[in-house]
Structure 1
Amino acid sequence: MRLKTKLVTAITSLVFVLATVISWLYLSRMLQQHIEQSWLSTDIVAHQVLFQVRLALETGLRNRPIDLNDPRAVRTAVAESLRQDPGLNSLLTSVINYSPTVLDIAVADHDGRALIAAPDPTQDDQMLPLRPDYATLRNKSLFRILRIVFGPPRVFNVTLGLERNNQPFVTVRVGIRTTFLQNAFHPWLYESFTFIGLAIVISLIVAAFMANLALQPMELISRRLDLLTTQAGADAEAASEAEAPRSVDAVAQVSGKIERLGRRMRNVEEVFSALKENLDQILSNLQDGMMLFTRDSRAVLVSSSIERFLDVHRDHILGAEVRDIFHRNTRLGRTIRDAFDAGMSIVQEEVTTETGRRVAVSLDFIHDDRSQDRHSLGALLTLHDLESVREIESELEVSRRLAAIGRLTAGVGHEVKNPINAIVVHLELLRNKIEREHGAIRHLDVIQSEIARLDRVVQTLVDFSRPVELQLRVQDLRDIVSSVLNLASAEFETRQVRVVSRLPDRPVIVRVDADLLRQALLNVVLNGAQAMASGGDLEVRLSEDSRLASLSVRDHGDGIPDEIRGRIFDLYFTTKKDGSGIGLAMTYRILQLHHGQLDVESKPGSGSTFTFRLPINPADQKTRSSWEPETAVSEGLGQ
């Protein structure tokens, strides 16, 4: 059976069941109403007869002497009064003749023997048969009522009593025959069944028609799906579909095509997810901030670098409109908003922000060249940090200088080391020859100490230029910071420096040479402590994002003057009387070996901030959940 036929049959069957249930409830309600009406009309007749019996007794027994202590005499007087009363007899005759459901009427004494009976007078003084009460039909179900009314003939009574001295005296019994009820119910039952039958037939016809009409668009949907499949361009799958047997059922065809289209969409979704992941990875490595806007100026693609320009997390930017991202109270926001409002592109326009940061702004609108009006499909915004370019150029210059120094020191160390060794040997021989002249020995001691100092300088140059073999291990950066702070705690106490460390609760996993990184951080921490001559707070803060771990060390000393800030990483450059000028140069080189970055921010009189930036390997983050720190993270170490 075709699926369409099954659906039409199921819908039609559901409508049939619903119409049948409603019809059954309607018929049950109607039958109960007619039973109730029949009972009410018969109850009225019984009350009329009872009233007439009371009048007949009052009239017949008024002037008649009766021995009230003789029950037989009382019954005889009552029976004669009822039988001789013309009003009561007239009422009984009229009810029997004109009531469609009443079979007989009898007035009986308290023993159930008839005092007067109609229409059969032979029932007088006879015991009346026991009959069920007609009121019991009122609470029965439709099926039971139909069985009783349309079953074997039965008679029900409607009974009313008259009491004397709080004792039953006479009862009025009105008999109703079920065959009479059949005759009374038959006309409206016939009409009801006819109406119900027509309603069910019409409902089935309408349901079948509407079901076919509702499923008619399936063919149109099938053609649209064919068109969509063709536009999607799946030659191999189209060929396999052509070879497969085609069903004549439109619903089955649409179901199969939707399933194949869904499978294709899942494949496309997987490809899209992979492309989006690759795109996010590419954008995360870009230094420039990039934002892609839709036609209605909503951001749908945001690089992570944009956070550096706007100081807003990218999750809060995605989906927002231009007016919610850029505000006119800032120079950068005013420039971008004006360009969006005018629909004009921006080509490398330099904007200086309120903080003095120089940003190059580029805005390109994407147009649909196939349309006649070339309406905009969206816009691409690029923010280029000119300050970072200058910093990168400065770092490259420092790297070139360090590389040149390395090459120079490698040659100088090799060339100077051998003559120094020869001078030391001959100086020792000369010392043995002129031991007796004390004045000459004093000069030899000076020469030897200076040669030893020159040897240490040359050895330092050799060590600095020698290639370093990194011992990279997965480390929790918090442990390295804690160990360095513990190591320098004695220096902090001596200089009255209070360390305020703010380390995250969860591990910061990096792949580094722990010994070298400790040496680099120790150089910066000691420099910060020594920069505060009168003591103070040394702030150490560790944080991370999706790409980098940032470790900043801030002191509150005198700061670094602008004229020497560019030389602090030069080898042997120092402003300390007892400094060697090697510490910061070695720190810078260690960060370079780890593909990291060392940034310096300093204002004279406000202190300096050195920031270590180390790359985070996403693969190493899998160990974060099971990482157990080696040392506890403490607040205020070295206080």
Structure 2
Amino acid sequence: MAVKKHSSLDKVLGRLDQLDEPNLHNLVQRLARERAMLEAVFNTLQEGVLVIDVGGLIDYANEAAARLIGLKEPAAGGSLWRLVPGLHDSLAGADSDAPLVTREFELAYPSPRLVRLYMVPFADGEHGPRRAIILSDITAERKSTAELIENEKISSILLLAAGVAHELGNPLNSLTIHLQLIDRKLKKLKASKETRSLEDSIKVCRDEVTRLDGIIKNFLEAIRPRPPDLAELYLPDLIEEVLHFQARELADRGIKVEGEMPAGTPMIMADRDQLKQVFFNLIKNAMEAMQPGGRLSLKLRADDDSVYVALADTGSGIKTEDLAKLFQPYHTTKVSGHGLGLMIVQRILRDHGGHVGIESKEGVGTVVTLQFPQKHRRVRMLAGG
């Protein structure tokens, strides 16, 4: 038979009516200290802690729980069922005698979150049955898991396709050589209407072979990335260089370029060649999305940790259903696109510790935002790592 142990506090409370005023005062102070300590411990937890009665009324909520479910203050009061609609129905089927109940649910307020709930029943002799609830925010965990699964899936597809791409390279080389031989022999023949027609056909074939060869090279570069060769980089200078390189095409298309690149923009650590490829791809995409007379805007800004570049165009925009697929290999919204450009951009940004985000509205245009860690932030991360 188990023996119930009594703490020294239990013994004191058992003879409470025998305490004189000084001892009673000391006891109250001790209880207040212990309560404050427990309150501080619970409020340091990242997990939300709740105590509710059988009707869902909140008897206790720590600060993390208040943040998660939208309580204005981490205090008792209010109905959990009202604050988290649908949770009551989800828990209604749980066995009231079950030692542990686990659920996962989505919160829309105060901000979208995926939450895991653990609920344990316990008895309170004075107030009746109670439920202790622990809430864990698993949004980042679930997102990370989804990204890992997606990356593994893409890696499998890319490895398979890499073998195919490699095998395609040999016949393409052979085609190029034989087209050159045919072209040379054709030039030795007497010019006629038939030879000119053949020359046009050969040119089309050579152009298509060149295009296919470019797709294969881009693909192999995308799946065989090299680590960035990091050095100090001033983004405004790099962007000006890329714009200068593409100035002729921008002018031919009648596209106006607007830039806001404040002097003194913080330095970043980056691979110059890889970032030139990023901006070349993005500006090329913007040009191809716009009609003549369109406008391309490039704006730089910085906060304490990062440098941001926003590229906005006045193109046709992207359909909502296509936005989620933009970084998938071979998904393209262009007639002649190969669907690898944005995938390469995303990989390069990730390798630099940055992020790429895209917002778009059909008929209005698209904004691509790049985020790069500042040089000093990267140094702090490495030093602490």
Q: Structure 2: give runs of 5+ residues left out of the alignment.
A: 1-37, 48-61, 73-79, 89-99, 123-127
Q: CA deviation at 1:362?
A: 1.3
CA distance in 1, matches of 2:339, 2:134: 51
Higher relative contact order, chain-length normalized (CA < 8 Å, sep 6+): 2
2:26 maps to none
CA distance in 2, matches of 1:364, 1:623: 34
1:335 maps to 84
User: 1:384 and 2:127 equivalent?
Assistant: no
Q: Equivalences for 1:70-469 in 2 at 5 Å?
A: 295=39, 298-302=42-46, 320=63, 322-323=65-66, 326-328=69-71, 334-335=83-84, 347-353=103-109, 357=112, 359-364=113-118, 379=134, 381-384=136-139, 401-429=157-185, 431-432=187-188, 435-436=189-190, 438-464=192-218, 465-466=220-221, 467-469=224-226
Give the SS at the match of 2:318: coil
CA distance in 1, matches of 2:229, 2:182: 45
Give the SS at the match of 1:573: coil
Q: CA deviation at 1:560?
A: 0.2
Q: What one-letter code is carried by the residue in structure 2 that aligns with 1:351? A: L
CA distance in 2, matches of 1:614, 1:582: 21
Q: CA deviation at 1:559?
A: 1.9
Give the SS at the match of 1:609: strand
User: 1:520 and 2:274 equivalent?
Assistant: no
Give the SS at the match of 1:475: strand
Contact (CA 8 Å) 1:496, 1:536: kept in 2 or not?
Answer: yes
CA distance in 2, matches of 1:558, 1:354: 34
Q: Structure 1: give runs of 5+ residues left out of the alignment.
A: 1-293, 304-318, 625-639
1:498 maps to 258
2:345 maps to 587
Q: What one-letter code is carried by the residue in structure 1 that aligns with 2:70? A: H
CA distance in 2, matches of 1:396, 1:614: 25
1:575 maps to 334
Give the SS at the match of 2:311: strand
Q: CA deviation at 1:345?
A: 6.7
CA distance in 2, matches of 1:400, 1:470: 21
Give the SS at the match of 1:560: coil
Map Cα deviations across residues 433-485 of structure 1 (whole Å, 9 max, x no partner).
xx125133213312321232133124313422154544512334xx1344214
Judging changes above 3 Å, is the alpha-carbon distance between structure 1 residues 492 and 567 closer, same or farther for their aligned structure 2 residues?
same
Judging changes above 3 Å, is the alpha-carbon distance between structure 1 residues 459 and 347 closer, same or farther for their aligned structure 2 residues?
same
1:480 maps to 235
TM-score by length of 1: 0.37
Give the SS at the match of 1:602: strand
Q: What one-letter code is carried by the residue in structure 2 that aligns with 1:473? A: L
Q: Which has the larger radius of gyration?
A: 1
Q: CA deviation at 1:361?
A: 0.7
Judging changes above 3 Å, is the alpha-carbon distance between structure 1 residues 601 and 448 closer, same or farther for their aligned structure 2 residues?
same
Map Cα deviations across residues 549-608 of structure 1 (whole Å, 9 max, x no partner).
76543445432013443554544835367x676643543454466576544332324533
Residue correspondences, number? 300
User: 1:602 and 2:360 equivalent?
Assistant: yes
Judging changes above 3 Å, is the alpha-carbon distance between structure 1 residues 563 and 326 closer, same or farther for their aligned structure 2 residues?
closer
CA distance in 2, matches of 1:545, 1:396: 34
Q: What one-letter code is carried by the residue in structure 2 that aligns with 1:488? A: L
Judging changes above 3 Å, is the alpha-carbon distance between structure 1 residues 471 and 506 closer, same or farther for their aligned structure 2 residues?
closer
CA distance in 2, matches of 1:457, 1:583: 15
CA distance in 2, matches of 1:397, 1:604: 30
Judging changes above 3 Å, is the alpha-carbon distance between structure 1 residues 611 and 447 closer, same or farther for their aligned structure 2 residues?
same
Judging changes above 3 Å, is the alpha-carbon distance between structure 1 residues 397 and 559 closer, same or farther for their aligned structure 2 residues?
farther
CA distance in 2, matches of 1:325, 1:502: 39
Judging changes above 3 Å, is the alpha-carbon distance between structure 1 residues 353 and 407 closer, same or farther for their aligned structure 2 residues?
farther
Contact (CA 8 Å) 1:549, 1:613: kept in 2 or not?
Answer: yes
Give the SS at the match of 1:601: strand
Contact (CA 8 Å) 1:295, 1:377: kept in 2 or not?
Answer: no
Map Cα deviations across residues 284-319 of structure 1 (whole Å, 9 max, x no partner).
xxxxxxxxxx6568542559xxxxxxxxxxxxxxx9
Map Cα deviations across residues 342-379 of structure 1 (whole Å, 9 max, x no partner).
xx976212334588x5x3211347999xxxx9x99995
Q: What one-letter code is carried by the residue in structure 1 that aligns with 2:231? A: V
CA distance in 1, matches of 2:199, 2:256: 41
Give the SS at the match of 1:515: helix
CA distance in 2, matches of 1:437, 1:529: 40
Contact (CA 8 Å) 2:118, 2:134: kept in 1 or not?
Answer: yes
1:52 maps to none
Judging changes above 3 Å, is the alpha-carbon distance between structure 1 residues 596 and 407 closer, same or farther for their aligned structure 2 residues?
farther
Map Cα deviations across residues 145-185 of structure 1 (whole Å, 9 max, x no partner).
xxxxxxxxxxxxxxxxxxxxxxxxxxxxxxxxxxxxxxxxx
Give the SS at the match of 1:559: coil
Contact (CA 8 Å) 1:413, 1:458: kept in 2 or not?
Answer: no
TM-score by length of 2: 0.57
- Compare the two structures and name the one with the higher helix fraction: 1
CA distance in 1, matches of 2:263, 2:152: 31
